[in-house]
Structure 1
């Protein structure tokens, strides 16, 4: 964009020089026209490399660019005759001044471009005021002002779209690079670590005793590692996106599936939809922590041979449900109440408390000899957002 502005600045200077050369005989002060052209030439020689360098977005340079254009326009009232101004002869720099509007639009967007255009529009009107030809201020003057405004608006808008496209391209390239690196690591892990873990699991089972326990642990780590490298990493909403939330800010969302898949093992089966289940990052981390607490209870109370199943569901209507089921011995109906009375608040705080704080609910179904199922339901992103707006409205 800055190269395009530089080309326009040079081309419009050549056109202004041609017009000044043709009209100089009719000026009230012909030498003044050449003086203005000299100023325009000197500034162009300075501005082209200056805007191309590291200072192109500096406010002092932009202000000086606009000031030079403003002064060259006002000089028309001193160089031209009042008669020529009244008859609609263009200002001395003609379209050269639009380069300042372009610079402001490229550097600051639509608002900056419009502000620069309005400033130069005032200069065009002041030429008639100083020359005393306001009665002859015709359509040409207003057309020039309107064209400057349109230039600032359109170019500023195009620049904003270009910056957004560049940011999206950078994110796409970054994601592609991350995916390639992930695939490379997955191949390396598969060719080395996973094979070793599988061999340890197999040999441990054959040897029995303490080696069998090591084999079981190796099998669990193998399953967890396979789940980790086989599931796409959570994708976050980056800064400057349509939702207006900066990456890492309150609006950041993640895919819940990889978080739960990390708990998969030879004794824990994790099932999730094929499509992403996106949630606010804090909510997703809390749900994952609640699932981890439920699986820890299975390991502690159901024995080493117990199996567990984690099922993730997204009903598409604003609710996400995660259920953790085991084939353990189950528990009596009053077990949780007795645990809370004894001060053991694992389920009450680690599971119920977390889900309650997210605005969700927990249902626990268990019977002796029939295992236990914990079902956790939390609002999805849309429902959570609507609830947040309602709460802010109530506070306001």
Structure 2
């Protein structure tokens, strides 16, 4: 597995080096001022403790995962404690003349650790604690003290802000890479489909047209599926638009979309006498779900089974019911079909309604047929309210009168 790249990792490595180098600098300053200190022994004990702490925690500052809040709190305490201890270890004259504190510029490393871990807000808190300790150690703030305090505060906040920007950029880059990977996978699937499924559908269409009769109908259906699949994998316009048919822009009358399903004398469509208006996409999806339900009737109930489509334009929803007089669905058959990977009801019917914010209920009694109720609430996307101003009147049509 490739190691995950991080735009902030170089900053953690730089912080590790900074802490070690500034520790050496602080020890050198202490050794140089040893003879001038008022209490050099306590200062030496602190420097020894600081050295053990810095070298023993190198692994803690190599990444954000191990740089925990308790560690940061102890680290900042080491810095603030060293600053306050300087007021007792060093002489008043040296302090007033601007001598360095015991931890010296090592203190900035504690602030930078806060900045890298938590961003500019954490850095501001740590900088404020260090500034308060510096001002307490000096007693009367001097120009140099204020200068150093402001410098540490600004540097910490600035680096913390840079880290936050870097993390946001890293997340954006990760999302872009995920999108690119998904696009490549889609292109690969499109190639596989083109090389396999589409070629088979095209062959079925050609041979069906050549054979004529019932095979020609099979060829026509294969051609329609090939066109729809090509549009799906390429993002092309729908098949109707590809053949030069104008794309629907305004509301669609659901009755007109369902009328072709009643082309057979064995399918009866009952719909309101006034338009049932839906936006194009929900209307097409609802009509496709009805088509999937009728396909199930033909496939499982036989060509001789009768089916009835009832459209109801209610005040709060559009309701479409598909009922047949077939043998019904045996108990447990839908679950078994889903386990076998046959997801016609789960995806083509229920999945479509779920994506639209509606629901699909299926009731089947062995020997008494099956009823599928598709309900699309008025609050769902694209369902037009007030499609009819009068109470709908139901009329029956079959395929010959519905064209």
The answer to whether the 8 A contact 1:219-1:266 is kept is no
Residue 220 of structure 1, CA deviation: 2.1
Alignment of 1:77-116 (within 5 A): 77-116=87-126
> What secondary structure does 1:75 align onto?
helix
TM-score by length of 2: 0.61
Kept in 1, the 8 Å contact 2:64–2:117? The answer is no
2:76 is the counterpart of 1:76: no
Judging changes above 3 Å, is the alpha-carbon distance between structure 1 residues 84 and 291 closer, same or farther for their aligned structure 2 residues?
farther
Match in the other structure for 1:67? 77
Higher-Rg structure is 2
Matched-pair contact (CA < 8 Å) for 1:352–1:362: no
Note the alpha carbon deviations across 1:62-116, whole angstroms, 9 max, x for none: 1111111111111111211122212222211111011111111111111111111
- Give 5+ residue unaligned stretches, structure 2: 1-10, 266-278, 285-310, 322-357, 360-373, 389-401
Q: Judging changes above 3 Å, is the alpha-carbon distance between structure 1 residues 65 and 139 closer, same or farther for their aligned structure 2 residues? A: same
Map 1:182-197 to 2 at 5 A: 182-197=186-201
Counterparts of 1:58 and 1:291, CA distance in 2: 60
Aligned CA distance change for structure 1 residues 265 and 203 (closer, same or farther; 3 Å): farther
Aligned residue in 1 for 2:44: 34
- Per the TM alignment, residue 137 of structure 1 is displaced from its structure 2 partner at its CA by 2.4
Q: Hey, what's the Cα distance between the residues in 2 that align with 1:292 and 1:262?
A: 18
Are the aligned partners of 1:223 and 1:264 in contact in 2 as well (CA < 8 Å)?
no
Q: Provide the C-alpha distance between the structure 2 equivalents of 1:205 and 1:216, rounded to a whole number of angstroms.
A: 8
Q: Does 1:147 align with 2:157?
A: no
Provide the aligned C-alpha RMSD in A. 4.2
Structure 1 CA distance for aligned equivalents of residues 157 and 246 of structure 2: 53
Partner of 1:206: 210
- The residue correspondences of 1:233-382 to structure 2 (distance < 5 A) are 297-301=258-262, 322=280, 340=313, 345-346=319-320, 357-358=380-381, 361=384
What secondary structure, in the 3-state scheme, does the structure 2 residue paired with 1:141 have?
Answer: helix
How many pairs align? 291
Divergent runs of 4+, >3 A = 261-273, 290-296, 301-304, 321-325, 338-341, 343-347, 349-365
Contact map agreement 2:318 2:378 (CA 8 A) in 1: no
Q: Retained in 1: the 8 A contact 2:12–2:63?
A: no
**Is 1:167 paired with 2:171?**
yes
Q: Match of 1:85, SS? A: helix
Q: Distance in 2 between matches of 1:344 and 1:263?
A: 26
CA positional deviation for 1:166: 1.0
Contact 2:111 2:123 in 1 (8 A): yes
Q: Could you state the TM-score of these two structures normalised by the residue count of structure 1?
A: 0.62
Q: 2:62 maps to which residue?
A: 52
**Secondary structure of 1:154 counterpart:** helix
> Given that residues 86 and 137 in structure 1 are in contact (C-alpha distance below 8 angstroms), is that contact kept between their aligned partners in structure 2?
no
